[in-house]
Amino acid sequence: MRPYITVAFAGLTSLILHAQTPKIQTCTVFPANNVWNARVDSLPVHPNSAAFVQTIGPSNPAHPDFGHDSVNGIPFNLVPGSEPKVSVSFYYNGDPGPYPIPPNPIIEQGANSTGDRHILLIDKDNCILYELFNAWPQAGGSWSAGSGAIFPLNSNKLRPSGWTSADAAGLPIFPGLVRYDEVASGQINHALRFTAPATRNTFVWPARHFASTHSGTAYPPMGTRFRLRKDFDISSFPPHVQVILRALKTYGMILADNGASWFISGVPDSRWNDDEMHQLTRVIGADFEAVDESSLMADPNSAAVRSGSLTAPSSTAWVNVISKNSGKCLDMAGGPAAKLPGDPAQQWTCWGGTNQEFQFTPVTGGYKITVKSSGMQLDVTGGSTATQNGARIIQYPYWGGSNEIWNLVPTSDRYFNIVAKSSGSCLDVRGASKVNGAAIQQWTCWGSDNQKWTLVPAQ
């Protein structure tokens, strides 16, 4: 049996090693602990990796979707903080702005393009990224666009779940672009952006949005991270291409839009050697593998990755208890008004209710777990002798029974099992369900993701 650890868990080795944080001029491109800047070379292969690769195309070549020509790639505009801002109307949705669009901005594929017409703007003085999709000038100096988003470059905040951005996945575009200056420096310290022709009608962290009707599990969700296999030999590639390939091994690439297979996004630059970059097409789909990066998530609404140490919460802190399997919160059924002894626990989309906030208070033998909305404690139905699998978890006034005492056991992927002292069984989402309302029960601990939980400070 694994030892119970009930105070703090320091010294667990971090899988995330940060190099120099990417920058554009004096602005860092998101904090060092942002998921875009996190290494994934030590993370496990996703269990659906082979199916994902097969769907995208195992024999299809990687393609540099950027080059020497100014219309080949996604450009960006650097603007001063004093740039006048203009209003933008959206036919999908977008952050209201206004946006610092200069009189003649650089538009993807040129001013007369009928393609995606992305406009990327970086306020270099205030370090704010503005992005627009399908942007068109209007009479009077305003603009219209399909969608748009604003990202402070010093923040890990994600867009609300379900929101798009200027990209289908609801993520920023700029941090995933291959830039010539980074390649010339010999190092890219962030994940790249790529596209696939068919994706699933769901998304995974850190993505916020999907753009598909396909429901099959062979289709990769938006936000899925891939990397170049560790055993892929890059020694015969030109030096600049090797820089990109090393980044693909170390930081990988994030599926951010529907498009051609394995198209890797970058910034057009007259210094690119297109013949050299064409060597990327020697890499084929079968040389990639999908990564399970769920262990990096500290909070489903933040792009910050988990720290290398695992610590129990303060006895005065209120936390959300979030399932690794579903990304949903431990929740008392009935909402904040559920105050009766015996009200059951379930999982539900995290929304900030006090029935989703819990406090871990040390007691003899472990912790009592208090529900903020009711003041009662989590309890295994049936009392201290209830050791059977499937016993429901409820709230009940604390009386000191071992069925109300819990231990936090760290897992190798930096989550917690929450273990009942009375039975030695784990807090478990019934049936490994990912839907709202799934029951919470105790079950023999066996290592499944529906028994792994992360504790996030309540907002």
- The CA distance from 236 to 283, in Å, is 12
Other beta carbons within 10 Å of 39: 22
**Residue 302 tokens, joined:** 């933040």
pLDDT on residue 310: 61
pLDDT on residue 365: 87
Cβ neighbours for 61, distance < 8 A, ≥ 6 positions apart: 262, 280, 281, 282, 283, 284, 285
- The CA distance from 312 to 315, in Å, is 9
Per-residue pLDDT, averaged over 139-157, amounts to 96
Domain boundaries, the chain: 23-72+156-296, 307-457
Helix (H) or strand (E) holding 185, with range, is: helix 180-185
Contact 114, 107 (CB under 8 A): no
Per-residue pLDDT band for 367 (boundaries 50, 70, 90) equals very high
27-28 and 23-24: which strand pairing? Answer: antiparallel
- The CA distance from 263 to 192, in Å, is 10
Instruction: Round the average pLDDT of the chain to a whole number and report it.
Output: 92
Per-residue pLDDT, averaged over 65-75, amounts to 97
pLDDT value at 15 more than 50: no
User: Bigger pLDDT: 327 or 203?
Assistant: 203
Per-residue pLDDT band for 191 (boundaries 50, 70, 90) equals very high
Contact 66, 178 (CB under 8 A): yes
Helix (H, G, I), strand (E, B) or coil at 276: helix
- The CA distance from 303 to 31, in Å, is 9
The CA-based dihedral angle spanning residues 329, 334, 336, 337, taken in that order and rounded to the nearest 10 degrees: -170
Per-residue pLDDT, averaged over 229-239, amounts to 97
pLDDT value at 8 more than 70: no
Per-residue pLDDT, averaged over 27-34, amounts to 93
Q: Please return the burial class of 78, using the count of CB atoms within 10 Å of its CB with bins 0-12, 13-18 and 19+.
A: middle
Per-residue pLDDT band for 142 (boundaries 50, 70, 90) equals very high
pLDDT value at 2 more than 60: no
Q: What is the largest CA-CA distance in the chain?
A: 75
Per-residue pLDDT, averaged over 351-368, amounts to 93
Integer CA distances (angstroms), 312 to 23, 127, 456, in order: 34, 35, 10
* Lowest pLDDT segment from 115-124, 162-171, 306-315, 358-367: 306-315
Per-residue pLDDT band for 311 (boundaries 50, 70, 90) equals low
Q: What is the pLDDT of residues 403-435, one digit of tens each?
A: 999 999 888 777 899 999 999 999 999 999 999
Per-residue pLDDT band for 456 (boundaries 50, 70, 90) equals confident
- The CA distance from 164 to 180, in Å, is 28
Helix (H, G, I), strand (E, B) or coil at 123: strand
Percent of the chain with pLDDT over 90: 84
Q: What is the pLDDT of residues 268-284, one digit of tens each?
A: 999 999 999 999 999 99
Percent of the chain with pLDDT over 70: 95
Per-residue pLDDT, averaged over 351-370, amounts to 93
Q: What is the pLDDT of residues 86-107, one digit of tens each?
A: 999 999 989 999 999 999 999 9
pLDDT value at 308 more than 60: no
Backbone phi and psi for residue 309, each to the nearest 5 degrees, phi listed first: -110, 155
Residues facing residue 132 across a β-bridge: 119, 148
**Residue 441 tokens, joined:** 């029960």
Per-residue pLDDT band for 5 (boundaries 50, 70, 90) equals very low
Contact 358, 427 (CB under 8 A): no
**Residue 174 tokens, joined:** 């700029």
Q: For residue 147, give the nearest of 177, 112, 171 by alpha carbon.
A: 171
pLDDT on residue 13: 29
Per-residue pLDDT band for 312 (boundaries 50, 70, 90) equals confident
- The CA distance from 245 to 227, in Å, is 9
Contact 212, 219 (CB under 8 A): yes
Query: Domain 307-457 belongs to what topology?
Result: Trefoil (Acidic Fibroblast Growth Factor, subunit A) (2.80.10)
Per-residue pLDDT band for 317 (boundaries 50, 70, 90) equals confident
Per-residue pLDDT band for 455 (boundaries 50, 70, 90) equals confident
